[in-house]
Structure 1
Amino acid sequence: MAEINQGVRETVNSQATHAFTHTLSRAAISALTPIAAVLVALAFGAALLSLNGFNGSDVVTVMVFGSFQDMRSVGEILLKATPLILIGAGLCVAFRCSIWNIGAEGQLYVGAIAATLVGTSIDGLSVWVHAPLVMLAGALAGAAWAGIAGYLKVRFQASEIVTTIMLNYIALILTSYLVTGPMRDASAAYPQSARLVREAWTPRLVTDLRLHIGILVAVILAVGLYIFLRRSSRGFALRVVGLNPHAARYAGMNVARNVMIAICISGAMAGLAGAFEVAGVTRRLYQNISPGYGFEGIAVALLAGNNPLAAILSGGLFATLRSGSEVLQITSQVPQVLVLVIQGIVILSVVAFAKLRDVLRIVA
C-alpha cells in the first residue's frame, strides 16, 4: 500500500511539474516574441539606413532614445499613444472573438464626425457635461459604424474583412464631403469644420503640454477590457465563440449576439479615439485627421497577443516609434519615404512574430 501511495504521489508531482513547465514556457514565448519582433525590425531598419548612406545606429540613438529628450517629447509620445491604446485594446476584443475588424480607421473618422457635430452644435453646457457628451457621441458612432459590418456578417455571412475595408473608404469620403460642404468653416482657407466650443474640449493633464486626460481614459478602459475578457461570463462567451463557434452554439451561446458585441466594442473604442483627436488635439475636424492610427492599431493588438492589458505597452511602443520617426527625419535628414519603410518593416516583423508565437504556443 505504501508503494502504491508513493507511486501516486510521484505521478501527481510529475504532472504538476509538467503543467508548471508548460505554463512557464508559454509565458516566456508570449513575453519574448514581441521583444524579438522589435529587435529584428530595428536591425533591418539600421541596415536599410546604412545601405542608403546614413548612420545605422540612428535607429536606436535617434529613433528610440531620441524621443525622450524632455517632458514635451514624452508628452507627445503619450498623446500619440492614446488613440493607439484605445484602438488596439478594442481590436483585442474583436480578434479574441475571431472577428477581423479592419475598419478601425473608418470608425475613428465616424467618431470624429459625431464628436464634431456635438461639439459645435450645442452651446451653454458646462465642461463636465459637454466634454463627456462629445466622447459618448464618438463612441456610439464608432460602435454603430462597426455594427453595420457585424450585422452583414451575422445576417448574410458577409466577410467582415471586406465590409470593414469598404466602410473605411466610405467614412473617409464622407469626412471629405462634410468638411468641404455642409460642415465647412466659411471663414477658413482650407477644408475644415468650425472650431469646437471650449466647453467641449478635452481637459489637459499639464497646462504647457498638449497631453490630455485621454491617456488616463485609454489605460483605464484597456484594464477594464482585460477584466471583461478574463473575469466576466460575457467575456468568456466571446472567447469561446472565437475558439469554436459551433461548440459555443452547441453549449447554448448566442453566437450572433456575441459577434455583434465584440465588433461594436472595438468600433466604440475606435470612435472614442476619433473623438479624443477632435476634442483633445485638433479642436476641429479635418480631411486627414488620422495619420493611420486605425491601421496601426491592428499591429498594436497583434503585438499585444490580443491582450488589452498588453496593448498599453505595445501602444506606447508604437507611439515611441512614430515620434522617433519624426525626430529621425528632422535631425538625421532621413527622407520621409525611408522612414515610412522602416515603420512598415516594424509592422511586418510584428505580424510575422505574432504568427510564430502562435505556432510556438501549440508546440509548447
Structure 2
Amino acid sequence: MDKMPAWADAVLVPLISILLAAGISALVILAIGENPVEAFMIMVKEALSTSRGIGYTLYYATNFIFTGLAVSVAFHARMFNIGGEGQAMMGGLGVALVCLYVPWPHWTLALFGAAAISALFGAAWAYIPAYLQAKRGSHIVITTIMFNFIAFSVLNYILVNVLRPQGSMDPATAKFPEATFLPTFQSMFSTADNVMFRNAPANVTFFVALAACVAVYFLIWRTRLGYEIRAFGHSETGARYAGISPVKITIVSMLISGGLAGMMALNTTMGEAERLVLNATEGAGFIGIAVALMGRSHPFGILLAALLFGFMYQGGSELAFWTNIPQQLIIVIQALVILFTGALDNMVRMPLEKLFLSIRKGDA
C-alpha cells in the first residue's frame, strides 16, 4: 500500500516545497530592506500581465519543457542525465548546419529538418555516455556532466575557427537565411489594430514543445518500449528476469533523452537568435533537472513546472530592474526553489507520509 495518495505526491509535495522556498525567499528580501509582497507583485505584473511579459515567460518555459522532458525519460530508466547542456549545444550545432547549408524554400520544411537534425545531434552526444554506462559500468552522472564541458569546448572551437564569418570578432555563426526564420508570437497573433507580444522571443517552437509533451506521454505510458523503460527503472533484476535487455534500455532511453535536449536549440538558435551563439543554452539543461523533479517526471507536471520557472526567470529579471534587489539574489531565489523541490524533497514528503498513515490508522 502506498504511504500516501498519488494526488498528494503529485500536488501537495511540490506545492509545499514551493511555499517553503517562497517563505525563505521573502525573509531574504526583508533582510535587505525590500518588501517581499511588492516584489512578488512586480514579478506577476512583468511576467504575466502583458502580452510581452507572457511572451518572454513562454519563451523560457519552452526551453525548460524540452530539457525537463529529456531528464524525465532518463529518470524513468533510473538514470540521471546531467548532460542536457552539452546535448543542447550539439543540437544547436546541428540546427546551424542545416539552416546555413541547406537551401530551404520555407520555414515549415526548415523546422522539420532542424528538429530532426537537432534531435540526432543531441542523441549522438548522449550515446557515448550511454554506451559507457551500459557496456563499461561508467556512472552516467559523471560522464554526462563531463561531456557538457567537452561540448562547450568543441562548440567554441567550431564557432571561432570554422563557422565564424570572416571579419567578425563574435564567436557566432552568420545570420540564418530568411527562409528559415520561425514565426514569432508577435507575427502570429498581432492584428493591424493591436500588436501582441511586442519584441518577445516566443515563437512557434512552443507548440513543438507541447507536441513533445504529448509524444513523451504516449511513449512512456502507452507503448511497449515505455513499459520496458519503466519496468527497468523500477527493478533492473525484475526487468532482466522478464527478458528486458538492460543494455538496450539504457542506450535507447539516453538516445531519446539526448534527442529531446537537443531539440531545445530550435527555440534558442533557430527561433530567437536566428544564428548559433556560444552560450545559447544559458543553464537550461540544469534547470531541466529541477523541472523534471518538480513535475514528477510526468509531461503535464513538467509543463506546469516549466511555466513556473519561466515565470521566475522573466519576473526575476524585471525585478532586478525595477527594485534594489540585485540580480544575484534572484538567482538565490531560483536556487531555493530547486533546493526544496529537489534535494530537500524528503523533508516535505516524510511528514506527509506520516500524516496520511496516521489518518488511515485513525479511520481503521
The TM-score with structure 2 as length reference comes to: 0.89
Q: Report the Cα offset of residue 24 of structure 1.
A: 7.4
1:294 maps to 285
Counterpart residue number, 2:362? none
Match of 1:156 among 91, 113, 136: 136
Are 2:97 and 1:117 aligned?
yes
2:69 is the counterpart of 1:78: no
Q: 2 CA distance for matches of 1:170 and 1:334?
A: 35
Conserved 8 A contact 1:143-1:268: yes
State the distance in 2 between where 1:87 and 1:327 align.
24
CA distance in 2, matches of 1:218, 1:27: 25
**Equivalence for 1:242:** 233
Residues 223 and 317 from structure 1, CA distance in 2 versus in 1: closer, same or farther, beyond 3 angstroms? Answer: same
Q: Which residue of the partner structure matches residue 191 of structure 2?
A: none
TM value normalised by structure 1: 0.89
Match of 1:343 among 334, 339, 347: 334
Q: Which amino acid aligns with 2:216?
A: L
Distance 1:41 1:293, change over 3 A: same
1:127: how far off?
A: 2.5
Residue 277 (structure 1) aligns with: 268
Separation of aligned partners in 2, 1:37 and 1:124: 47
Q: 2:12 aligns with which of 10, 13, 32?
A: 32
Tell me, in whole angstroms, the C-alpha distance in 2 between the residues paired with 1:229 and 1:100: 17
Deviation at 1:356, TM superposition (A): 4.6
Runs of 4+ in 1 over 4 A off after TM superposition: 356-364
Tell whether the 8 Å contact from 2:4 to 2:353 is kept in structure 1 after alignment: no
8 Å Cα contact 2:58/2:202 also seen in 1: yes
Q: What's the CA shift for 1:358?
A: 6.0
Match of 1:178 in 2: 158
Give the CA deviation at 1:65.
4.6
Q: Which segment drifts farther, 335-344 or 53-62?
A: 53-62
Q: Which runs of 5+ in 1 are unaligned?
A: 1-18
Supply the AA of the counterpart residue of 2:213.
A
Q: Label 1:117 to 1:356 Cα distance change in 2 as closer, same or farther (>3 A).
A: same
Of 63-72 and 332-341, more deviation after overlay is shown by: 63-72
Distance 2:79 2:338 in 1: 20
Whole-Å separation in 2 of the counterparts to 1:346 and 1:61: 18
Shift of residue 124 of structure 1? 4.9
Quote the offset at 1:258 in angstroms.
1.0
Cα shift readout 1:119-144 (whole Å, capped 9, x = no counterpart): 11122533232221112111110011
Alignment partner, residue 253 of structure 2: 262
Amino acid at match of 2:121: A
User: Does the 8 A contact of 2:91 with 2:263 survive in 1?
Assistant: yes
The alpha-carbon distance between structure 1 residues 136 and 357, as it changes in their structure 2 partners (threshold 3 A), is farther
Measure how far apart 1:309 and its partner are. Answer: 2.0
Q: Does 1:69 align with 2:60?
A: no
Structure 2, gaps ≥5 residues long: 188-197, 358-364
Aligned equivalent of 2:324, options 327, 333, 339: 333
Select the residue among 202, 225, 230 that pairs with 2:182.
202
- 2:122 matches 1:142: yes
Give, as a single letter, the amino acid of the residue that structure 2 aligns with 1:216: F
Measured in 2, the distance between the counterparts of 1:239 and 1:360 equals 27
The match for 2:209 is 218
1:282 aligned partner, one-letter code: A
State the shift of 1:186 in Å: 2.1
The share of aligned pairs that are identical, in percent, is 28
Describe the shift of the 1:321–1:242 C-alpha distance in structure 2 as closer, same or farther (beyond 3 A). same
Q: Is 1:42–2:42 an aligned residue pair? A: no
Within 2, Cα distance between the matches of 1:274 and 1:130?
A: 13
Instruction: Provide Cα deviations, 1:27-78, integer angstroms capped at 9, x if missing partner.
Output: 1232111111111111111111111222222442123454113101101101
1:93 matched to 2:93? The reply is no
Q: CA RMSD for the aligned pairs? A: 1.9
Residue 70 of structure 2 contacts residue 84 of structure 2 at CA under 8 Å; is this kept in 1? no
Q: Distance in 2 between matches of 1:146 and 1:356?
A: 32
Q: Are 1:165 and 2:156 counterparts?
A: no
| CA spacing shift, 1:287–1:34, aligned 2, 3 Å | same
C-alpha deviation, 1:25, in angstroms: 2.3
The Cα of 1:239 is off from its aligned counterpart by 0.5
> CA–CA distance in 2 between the matches of 1:65 and 1:45?
19
Secondary structure (helix, strand or coil) at the match of 1:185 reads coil
Kept in 2, the 8 Å contact 1:303–1:354? The answer is no
Question: What is the distance in 2 between the residues matched to 1:339 and 1:293?
Answer: 16
Partner of 2:193 in structure 1?
Answer: none
Q: Name the SS for the 2:185 alignment partner.
A: coil
Q: Distance in 2 between matches of 1:232 and 1:87?
A: 22
- Counterpart contact for 1:45–1:59, Cα < 8 Å: no
- Which AA in structure 2 matches 1:348? L
Contact 1:270 1:294 in 2 (8 A): yes
CA distance, structure 2, for counterparts of residue 102 and residue 291 of structure 1? 14
Using the TM superposition, give the Cα deviation of residue 201 of structure 1 relative to its aligned residue in structure 2, in angstroms. Answer: 2.4
Check whether the contact 2:3–2:353 (CA below 8 A) recurs between aligned residues.
no
The answer to whether the 8 A contact 2:59-2:267 is kept is no
Higher Rg of the two aligned structures: 1
